[in-house]
Amino acid sequence: MQLHVLQLQGTGDDEYAYENAGVFSTHAQAEKRLAEINAEYTELDDFVFSLQDNARIETHTLDV
């Protein structure tokens, strides 16, 4: 089984650290959540979080 962990940079006390924003069973679900988070910032012209910049999705395989 794979887990996909959405992590955002700069949301905690350390602006360079990544904080978990959710754990999902599919990569698509993690991407959807990232889009929902960015939709909260509609007054800005650009996304606040983007993959390969200040957001990442780590994939981990669990032994079953």
Residue type, 12: G
Instruction: Note the pLDDT tens digit of each residue in 12-62.
Output: 899 899 999 999 999 999 999 999 998 887 766 666 899 999 999 999 999
What confidence score (pLDDT) does residue 40 get?
83
DSSP secondary structure string for all residues of 8-60: EETSSSSTTSEEEEEEESSHHHHHHHHHHHHHTTTTSSS-S--BTTTEEEEEE
How many CB atoms within 10 Å of residue 47?
A: 16
Residue 63 predicted with pLDDT over 90: no
Task: Name the residue ranges covered by the structural domains of the chain.
Answer: 2-61
pLDDT of residue 11: 87
Rounded Cα gap, residues 1 and 52, in angstroms: 24
Query: pTM of the predicted model, to two decimals?
Result: 0.86
